[in-house]
């Protein structure tokens, strides 16, 4: 049961429900009305701008009936009904996050102990069964990566993976790129060298937020894939050395790649990126493409380099890494704003052929959110 | 003429040149060496990680010869030569930016006074003449938008515009979308309504950072295009009401679009986005897709809404807007992280047909930077 009270000025409504009292402002309530004049019934887009809502808007009356709250606004003389559950779910009357580096409850940082339960999905099943796809997307959302098994062994099969959730982000590397040993490589990824765990293309802004690596041949010795949770690494850095976390999140690094004619990709972004309210939103880490860092003040450069070194040590710590081998017809999808990937060195004997491409999280998150919303609707009906 | 001195600890080198003294740390210098063991000669990628450089690295000797500085490092016993000009260009011994909202010197905020000199390029010429393309990209870089004239009048011509500098970002709207009046539109953009100036798709993360709108038919009355510099608007807000600028840059807004089956795009980003060191890097403004803002603490919500209202008033101020009409075969390209666009209402009589698509700034900025670098090389030879 809900109770609703207006303050004497008509600017604040206090809604008291099972979770205790929550205050709402008149302007926020009016702007978030869902009547057909405010929001287009079909697509939900707002039909009015804030300029259409008087600056002196206040509430003149409130009534509660079951789980609905009806509010009258002056000077428009408009009456709007809200679902109490919607108001509770969107309440903002709560303390601000206390510590920098907080993450959404949907995200679970992990380390080597995840090894026994690597998130995995069956490609063939996912193409036919939405529930299987939804389960796998939930894992990718939670852990920042997911393996796929039982896919076709054919050139371009990786595009079928992207089709599950989004769209290919084409770049100067093409719609896809081949990862195998090359003579005179333009990029160290195309050699047999082991690579330190890294995020891809930090020199690109916006960075490609999803990467797909798809295995077509795998008979060379070595070349195992390895992933490290960049969020877990950043949080460990914060807990061990708060000043280091502050240094890497307060100043921008610079990244550059100019290894091909006509290409000069440059970015200026922090290695640990926080939203303005301290949410941990991205990690960039790539020794190969780090350019000269010139945006750290002189008296902070020493601690900046110490922090960068320590973050690298954490990333290199076997206690952080999860390894797995990709066989032909297997792939992995990685949130390139969070999870670092690497491969162990491999020898020239035998072959190792992967195809890679980029995509973006907007599509992946949208597909997953739309599935969850449809499930909730079904459950409610 | 340059002079270089080591401090007694061997950790700091002071380089004195035409611009005065600049200090550099031993670790920074070592990490930024350009010898063939540190950086791959072909593609410039760094071959070592920070873990390969000893933590107790210091300098034991420095020598200056003409414009080259040669430094010896222990304990590696490595000797590296630097160009003094490169060191000066990458010096970091300078005060941190004083005011939030600073922008790179390459960016020029503008208002309605730009009307007489709208940045424009000749499409046909640009496809054949790199210098013409470079000039136009410089304008887009500086002003955040550019018009194109003299293009072909054919379905899909907008892709030829994207080919000039980058790649199409495909989304759930397709590789391209049609902007003309529709019956039962899924999006208000596909009606004849006038739209408040906005950035596109703020509900997408990463947001598409470039938009192309290409005109194929234009005989309806009205429908002029209008652009507003979101950076200029944000800076005006900062100068008028610093607290408002702080509110919109310190808290995340939420945006959502769920107007189609299977689509539920959601983002949590500030309307005014700053880098951690205060650089103004993005503006998001779109009344249609703003969702309930729930990340502003209760006691800041009133000033947040006042700030949002004032930013809207600035954006609506005719003193900020530049308008132009697109004729068939004309297009405009806009930096969707900076410049807002809008269109005036148009009537049903006659036709108005535009095609739109998204792309990203990484390609645009890379193409421009590579051209500039090639020019500089040529000039130096």
Identify whether residues A304 and A265 lie together within a single domain. Answer: yes
Question: Would you tell me how many other CB atoms lie within 10 Å of the CB of residue B76?
Answer: 13
Identify whether residues A171 and A229 lie together within a single domain. Answer: yes
Average pLDDT over residues B354-381: 92
Identify whether residues B193 and B256 lie together within a single domain. Answer: yes
**Percent of chain A, pLDDT > 90?**
85
For residue range B162-208, what is the model confidence (pLDDT) as tens digits? 999 999 999 999 999 998 865 455 666 666 667 789 999 999 999 99
Kindly state whether residue A84 falls inside one of the protein's structural domains: yes
Phi, psi for residue A169 in degrees, rounded to 5: -95, 105
CA dihedral angle for residue A182, residue A187, residue A193, residue A198, rounded to 10 degrees = -140
A188 confidence band (pLDDT: 50, 70, 90): low
Identify whether residues A178 and A324 lie together within a single domain. Answer: yes
Q: Using CB atoms and an 8 Å cut-off, which of residues 251-290 of chain B contact chain A?
A: 251-252, 256-270, 273-277, 279, 287-290
| Residue B380: predicted pLDDT | 74
**Where are the alpha helices (H) located in chain B, listed in sequence order?**
26-31, 84-89, 123-128, 130-143, 157-163, 230-240, 242-250, 298-316, 361-380
B348 confidence band (pLDDT: 50, 70, 90): low
| Residue B300: predicted pLDDT | 97
Question: Would you tell me how many other CB atoms lie within 10 Å of the CB of residue B233?
Answer: 27
DSSP code per residue over A308-357? HHHHHHHHH-GGGEEEE-PPTT-EEEEETTTEEEEE--B-SSS-EEEEEE
Identify whether residues B204 and B291 lie together within a single domain. Answer: yes
Specify whether the CB–CB gap between B308 and B252 falls below 8 A: no
If one compares B378 and B15, the residue with the highest pLDDT of the two is: B15
CA distance B370 to chain A (A): 5
**Percent of chain B, pLDDT > 70?**
96
Structural domain for B43, as ranges: 3-89
Question: What average pLDDT is seen over chain A?
Answer: 94
Whether residue B206 has a cis bond before it, omega within 30° of 0: yes
Specify whether the CB–CB gap between B301 and A13 falls below 8 A: no
| Residue B136: predicted pLDDT | 98
A36 touches chain B (CB under 8 A): no
CA distance B89 to chain A (A): 9
Identify whether residues B229 and B365 lie together within a single domain. Answer: yes
CATH of the domain at B41: 3.30.2020.30
Q: How many CB pairs (< 8 A) connect A and B?
A: 256
**Rounded distance between C-alpha atoms, residue A158 and residue A129, angstroms:** 19
Nearest alpha carbon to residue A139 among A108, A163, A168: A108
Given A45, A309, A369, which is nearest B266 (Cβ)?
A369
Kindly state whether residue A246 falls inside one of the protein's structural domains: yes
| Residue at which a domain ends, from B28, B57, B89 | B89
For residue A209, what are its two tokens? 């937020």
Identify whether residues A262 and A350 lie together within a single domain. Answer: yes
CA distance A283 to chain B (A): 14
| Residue B183: predicted pLDDT | 47
Average pLDDT over residues B209-232: 93
Give the nearest chain A residue to B51 (CA atoms): A309
Question: Considering only CB atoms, which chain A residues are within 8 Å of B23?
Answer: 298
Average pLDDT over residues A335-351: 86
Question: Considering only CB atoms, which chain A residues are within 8 Å of B27?
Answer: 302, 305
Global pTM reads 0.96
- Lowest pLDDT segment from A35-44, B81-90, B260-269: A35-44
Mutation to test the A interface, candidates B41, B50, B208, most A Cβ within 10 Å: B50
DSSP code per residue over B296-350? S-HHHHHHHHHHHHHHHHHHH-GGGEEEE-PPTT-EEEEETTTEEEEE--B-SSS
Give the nearest chain A residue to B193 (CA atoms): A47
Identify whether residues B273 and B202 lie together within a single domain. Answer: yes
**Rounded distance between C-alpha atoms, residue B269 and residue B304, angstroms:** 14
A370 vs B264: CB contact, 8 Å cut-off?
A: yes
Specify whether the CB–CB gap between B285 and B337 falls below 8 A: no
Nearest alpha carbon to residue A46 among B307, B339, B202: B202
**Rounded distance between C-alpha atoms, residue A306 and residue B53, angstroms:** 12
B363 touches chain A (CB under 8 A): yes
**Rounded distance between C-alpha atoms, residue B258 and residue B272, angstroms:** 23
| Residue B50: predicted pLDDT | 96
A183 confidence band (pLDDT: 50, 70, 90): very low
Average pLDDT over residues A187-197: 71
Beta strands in B1-125 (DSSP E): 3-6, 12-17, 20-25, 58-65, 68-74, 78-83, 120-122
| Residue at which a domain ends, from A89, A104, A121 | A89
Given B32, B252, B292, which is nearest A276 (Cβ)?
B252
A372 confidence band (pLDDT: 50, 70, 90): very high
- Lowest pLDDT segment from A201-210, A226-235, B88-97, B314-323: B88-97
B262 vs A172: CB contact, 8 Å cut-off?
A: no
Sign of CA dihedral B18, B21, B25, B28: negative
Identify whether residues B275 and B357 lie together within a single domain. Answer: yes
| Residue B161: predicted pLDDT | 98
Q: Give the count of domains, chain A.
A: 2
CA distance A122 to chain B (A): 21
B105 touches chain A (CB under 8 A): no
Average pLDDT over residues A100-120: 96
**Rounded distance between C-alpha atoms, residue A188 and residue A180, angstroms:** 10
Question: Considering only CB atoms, which chain A residues are within 8 Å of B168?
Answer: 170
For residue A292, what are its two tokens? 């000269």
| Residue A342: predicted pLDDT | 93
A163 confidence band (pLDDT: 50, 70, 90): very high
Identify whether residues B215 and B80 lie together within a single domain. Answer: no
Phi, psi for residue A219 in degrees, rounded to 5: -120, -5
A270 vs B289: CB contact, 8 Å cut-off?
A: no
For residue range A225-250, what is the model confidence (pLDDT) as tens digits? 999 999 999 999 999 999 999 999 99
For residue range B128-159, what is the model confidence (pLDDT) as tens digits? 999 999 999 999 999 999 999 999 999 999 99
Q: Using CB atoms and an 8 Å cut-off, which of residues 187-216 of chain B contact chain A?
A: 187-188, 196, 204-207, 209
Kindly state whether residue A377 falls inside one of the protein's structural domains: no
| Residue A378: predicted pLDDT | 80
**Rounded distance between C-alpha atoms, residue B218 and residue B169, angstroms:** 26
Given B259, B264, B363, which is nearest A43 (Cβ)?
B259
Question: Is residue B120 predicted with pLDDT exceeding 50?
Answer: yes
Alpha carbon distances (Å) from A353 to A16, A123, B247: 60, 19, 50
Given B167, B186, B196, which is nearest A171 (Cβ)?
B167
For residue B36, what are its two tokens? 């063939």
For residue B229, what is the enclosing H or E element? strand B225-229
| Residue A187: predicted pLDDT | 65
Kindly state whether residue B96 falls inside one of the protein's structural domains: no
B316 touches chain A (CB under 8 A): yes
| Residue at which a domain ends, from B47, B74, B89 | B89
Identify whether residues A358 and A316 lie together within a single domain. Answer: yes
A376 touches chain B (CB under 8 A): no
Identify whether residues A117 and A25 lie together within a single domain. Answer: no
For residue range B288-304, what is the model confidence (pLDDT) as tens digits? 999 999 999 999 999 99
DSSP 3-state assignment of B375?
Answer: helix
Place of tokens 């072959």: A351
**Rounded distance between C-alpha atoms, residue A133 and residue A374, angstroms:** 14
Max avg pLDDT among B40-44, B111-115, B176-180, B221-225: B111-115
Question: Is residue B241 predicted with pLDDT exceeding 90?
Answer: yes
Nearest alpha carbon to residue A360 among B145, B241, B267: B267
Kindly state whether residue B85 falls inside one of the protein's structural domains: yes
CATH of the domain at B291: 3.60.130.10
- For the beta sheet containing B339-343, the strands, ordered from the edge strand earlier in sequence to the opposite edge, are B195-198, B339-343, B225-229, B321-324
Question: What average pLDDT is seen over chain B?
Answer: 94
Kindly state whether residue A103 falls inside one of the protein's structural domains: no
Specify whether the CB–CB gap between A26 and A76 falls below 8 A: no
Kindly state whether residue B284 falls inside one of the protein's structural domains: yes
Kindly state whether residue B95 falls inside one of the protein's structural domains: no
If one compares B176 and A181, the residue with the highest pLDDT of the two is: B176
């Amino acid at each position: 049961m809900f109770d609703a009270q207006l303050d004497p000025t008509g600017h604040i409504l206090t809604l008291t429900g099972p979770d205790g009292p929550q205050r709402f402002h008149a302007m926020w309530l009016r702007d978030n009305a869902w009547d057909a004049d405010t929001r287009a019934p079909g697509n939900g887009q707002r039909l009015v701008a804030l300029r259409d809502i008087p600056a002196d808007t206040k509430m003149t009356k409130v009534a509660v009936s079951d789980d609905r709250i009806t509010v009258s606004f002056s000077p428009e003389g408009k009456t709007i009904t809200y679902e109490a559950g919607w108001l509770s779910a969107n309440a903002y009357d709560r303390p601000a996050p206390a510590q920098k580096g907080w993450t959404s409850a949907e995200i679970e940082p992990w380390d080597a102990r995840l090894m026994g339960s690597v998130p995995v999905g069956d490609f063939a099943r996912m193409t036919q069964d939405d529930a299987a796809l939804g389960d796998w997307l939930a894992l990718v959302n939670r852990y920042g990566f997911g393996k796929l098994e039982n896919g076709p062994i054919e050139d371009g099969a990786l595009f079928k993976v992207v089709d599950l959730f989004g769209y290919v982000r084409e770049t100067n590397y093409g719609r896809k790129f081949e990862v195998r040993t090359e003579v005179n490589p333009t990029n160290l990824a195309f050699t047999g060298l082991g690579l330190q765990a890294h995020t891809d293309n930090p020199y690109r802004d916006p960075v490609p937020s999803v990467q797909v690596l798809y295995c077509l041949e795998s008979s060379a010795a070595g070349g195992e894939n390895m992933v490290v949770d960049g969020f877990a690494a950043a949080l460990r850095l914060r807990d061990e050395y708060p000043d280091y976390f502050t240094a890497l999140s307060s100043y921008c690094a610079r990244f550059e790649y100019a290894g091909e004619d006509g290409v000069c990709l440059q970015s200026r972004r922090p290695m640990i990126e926080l939203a303005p309210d301290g949410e941990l939103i991205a990690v960039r880490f790539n020794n190969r493409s780090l350019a000269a860092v010139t945006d750290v003040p002189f008296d902070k450069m020493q601690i900046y380099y110490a922090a960068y070194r320590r973050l690298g040590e954490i990333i290199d710590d076997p206690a952080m890494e999860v390894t797995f081998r990709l066989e032909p017809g297997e792939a992995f999808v990685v949130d390139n704003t969070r999870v670092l990937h690497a491969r162990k060195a491999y020898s020239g004997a035998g072959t190792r052929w992967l195809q890679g491409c980029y995509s973006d999280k907007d599509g992946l998150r949208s597909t997953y959110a739309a599935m969850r919303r449809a499930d909730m609707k079904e459950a409610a009906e």
